[in-house]
Each structure stands twice: as C-alpha cells, then as structure tokens.
Amino acid sequence: MINDTHCQQFLDFCEDQRNLSANTVTAYRQDLKAFLIFYKSTDTGDNTNQQTVLRYLRYLRNAKRLKPSTVQRRVMTLRACLEWMRQFKSGSPSPFDGLRLTFRSPKLVPRAIDANTLKHLLKNEESNPVPKHSFSKDAVTFLIMRILIVTGLRIGELTGLNIKDVFSQDSKIRVFGKGSRERIVYIANDELYAEFVKFLHWRRASNKPSAQLFPNRCGERLTPPALRKRLKLLCASKNITPHLTPHQFRHSAATQLIENGVDIRMVQRLLGHASLATTEIYTYVSDQALQLTLVRADVLSRLDPGHSKTFNIYKLLPKRSVAENHANRPGMFVVGDPQAAESVC
C-alpha cells in the first residue's frame, strides 16, 4: 500500500538519482499528495489495485473535472511511483499492469499576442524612456518584454539568467532550458542590442554586483511571480485587457517567425523544443494566413465576373484576436527586423 513515506522516498529518488528539475519534483509532489488525499478518504482497506486506479481516474475526470492534460499527468505520476515501488521496494506487480488507459487532450491553439497590442505595449513612451546611466524597475520590465519577444525565452529561463551567461560582445545568451538542455539565443535587433549593452554596463558597474542578470528592487534575483505581477500592472496602465502573460510572448515570438517564413527547425532550436511536433502547433496560425491570402485572391471572382465579391472574410476564421492580426498584416511586427522593430519600439 502506498503511503507518505513511499511518496517522499520516490521524490528523493527523482531528485537525487534521476536529477529531475525542481519544478518537475514539485509537480510530482502535488500529484502524489492529491492521490493520497483521495486514497485516505475512500478508506476501503485494500491495497492499491486496478480498481483503486480506475476509481481515482473517474474521480479526477468527473468529480474534480480537471483538464485532460492534468488528469494524464496525475495518473502518470502515480504510475511512475508505483513502478518505482515494484522495482526497489515491494517487488509486487503494479496496478497498472494490464490497464490500457487513453487520454485525449484537445489540441489547443497558442494564445499569441496580436500585432496591434504588441505595438501599443512596446511603444516607447515617457513613462518608460530609454535610460542613459541607470535602469528603473519600469525600464528593466520594458527591456525584458522586448527580449522575450525576440528570443522566445520561458519566464523561468529568463529569470534564471546570470551575467556570465551573456557572451560574444553581449549579443548571445546561453540558456539552460528543460531537461538541462543548453541552447543559444540572440539579440537580433540593433536598437535592442544597444540598450542591452547599456544595461549590462550598468549591471557590471553596480555598487552591489550580483550574479543574476535581472535583479529586483532589493538586488535579489527577479522571480517569475514578480515578473508576472509587473506585466499585469503594465497592461492595466495601458488599458490592455485581459492582461498578458510572459508565456504569450513566447507564443508570439514563434508565431511571428513562422508567419514570416523562418524554417520551423530553426524555430524549434530557438525555443529549445526537444521534439519538432511541439513546434508544429504554431503552423496553425500559418494555415490561417494561407486561408486569408486565398480569400483575398478570390480566384472564382476573377474567372466569373458575375460572382459576388462581397464575401465577409472573417466568416472563414475563428473569432480570435489572431484574425485581427492577419487583417492588419501590413503593420505586422517582424521579429529580428531592425526597421520593423524601430517602428514599434
């Protein structure tokens, strides 16, 4: 029977021997805690068997009404723990032996930020001027936003950066992503690069130098929750609703690159995806762009002058902000294009 001691031993095994990341171990801990609460509440007196697993699965789906991806993660965490118990503890068969579980998660479209919102958000106003000698909290936030849209970094990757991770005349940044995979991202914009160099000089010349690249007001490392709060306040000040999240900048970076013809394998390398299939979710937006181009061309109207040309183009597209992005394509923000970035920033 699985208990708190077994769960803690399994978590120690994941952290010490499998060398899993702190975030993964935290997620495992939450998943196992949720199962133990369910297991103790049922109190059937039986060992963890197939019926227990199936009851837990129904509980997650029907009673808790969790998302399919969350249900799958919690069940797979339980399976990994029981497999570990069989191998290192009891040696008894796993309740998952003989079970064929199917998880069908909906294919979600990435929530990219439309071009007009990006322009408004990245517009350099008096409230966030480019500093000359020092960087305020707002100036650092403004710089971080543009780095996110150019590099596609995850929020944890960005806040985990150290000054020593910047090299090659301050134009390249070494990033350690999921699975401790190392990759290089680039500051591919002249104006942003010039400001980033000023920021680095300010950090290196600080009276209280520290290892982290992006500090908070107290000089400590900026945390993901603090950055999310900063972005939420900035959106509120610019009347952007609903407020944006840092991960939407990652989606927007990938979407803009795909929309502007960058090879998908290059986008995969930039984002640090282990599988190309993960990057392919961004091709959906490209399909929308193709659809919009075909509607604009309207071949049938050119071949048959009597055919009506007043078709509403938006009927072919879902009612999403990304459709407005395509409708305003001449003003689209092009990542890495100095002229386009200059007009936006």
Q: Which CATH number fits the domain that encloses residue 37?
A: 1.10.150
Q: Is the pLDDT of residue 295 over 90?
A: no
pLDDT band at 94 (very low <50, low <70, confident <90, very high): confident
* Residue 274: inside a domain: yes
Same domain? For 127 and 269 the reply is: yes
Clarify whether residues 128 and 222 are in a common domain. Answer: yes
**Is 328 inside a domain boundary?**
yes
Q: Indicate whether 136 belongs to any domain.
A: yes
* Position 267 pLDDT exceeds 60: yes
Name the pLDDT band for 245 (thresholds 50, 70, 90): very high
In a domain, 107, yes or no: no
The answer to whether 115 and 323 have CB atoms below 8 angstroms apart is no
Mean pLDDT of the chain: 82
Q: Could you report the per-residue pLDDT of 27-57, keeping only the tens digit for each?
A: 999 999 999 999 988 866 666 688 899 999 9
* CATH number of the domain within which 194 lies: 1.10.443.10
Same-domain pairing of 225 and 340: yes
13 CA to centre of own chain: 28
Q: Is the pLDDT of residue 321 over 50?
A: no
Note the residue count of the chain: 345
| Residue 316 confidence (pLDDT) | 43
Q: Is the pLDDT of residue 323 over 80?
A: no
Domain boundary among 88, 123, 138: 88
Query: What is the residue-wise DSSP string for 36-93?
Result: HHHHHHH-----S-HHHHHHHHHIIIIIS---HHHHHHHHHHHHHHHHHHHHHT--PP
pLDDT at 5 (0 to 100): 92
Q: Within a domain: residue 319?
A: no
pLDDT at 297: 84
13 with 61, same domain? yes
**Residue 175's domain spans which residues?**
115-284+324-344
Burial string for 252-290 (b: 16+ CB within 10 Å, else e) reads bbbbbbbbbeeebeebbebbbbeeeeebebbbebeebbe
Is 105 a residue whose pLDDT tops 70?
yes
| Distance from chain centroid for Cα 166 | 22
Collapse the DSSP code of 340 into the 3-class scheme (helix H, G, I; strand E, B; otherwise coil) and give the result: helix
Q: Residue 239 falls within a domain, yes or no?
A: yes
- Indicate if 77 and 173 belong to the same structural domain: no
Count of domains for the chain: 2
Which has more confidence, 302 or 84?
84
141 and 75, same domain (yes or no)? no
Q: Classify residue 304: in a domain, yes or no.
A: no
On whether residue 143 sits in a domain, the answer given is: yes
- The pLDDT assigned to 288 comes to 67
* Whether residue 253 is found in the same domain as residue 332: yes
Shared domain for 190 and 339, answered yes or no, is yes
Domain boundary among 88, 123, 140: 88
- The predicted-structure confidence for 199-217, as pLDDT tens digits, reads as follows 999 888 876 667 899 988 8
- pLDDT exceeds cutoff 60 at 1: yes
Banded model confidence at residue 308, pLDDT cuts 50, 70, 90: low
Same domain assignment for residues 144 and 279: yes
Residue 47's pLDDT is what? 65
What's the rounded mean pLDDT across residues 113-131? 72
List, for residues 133-189, the tens digit of each pLDDT value: 678 888 899 999 999 999 999 999 999 999 999 998 889 999 998 877 899 999 989
Report pLDDT for 43: 65
Shared domain check, 339 and 195: yes
- Note whether 72 and 120 are same-domain residues: no
State whether 139 and 263 are in the same domain: yes
Residue 310 has a pLDDT of 53
Are 159 and 223 spatial neighbours (Cβ–Cβ below 8 Å)? yes
Distances 224 to 21, 35, 188, 231, 254 between C-alpha atoms, Å: 16, 28, 24, 11, 21
DSSP string covering 277-322, please? Answer: HHHGGGHHHHHHHHHHHHHHH-HHHHH-TTS-----GGGGS-SSHH
Task: Give the Å distances, CA to CA, from 128 to 143, 146, 224.
Answer: 10, 13, 21
Find the mean pLDDT for residues 322-330.
Answer: 41
* 58-74 confidence digits (pLDDT tens): 999 999 999 998 999 99
Q: What is the model's pLDDT at position 207?
A: 60
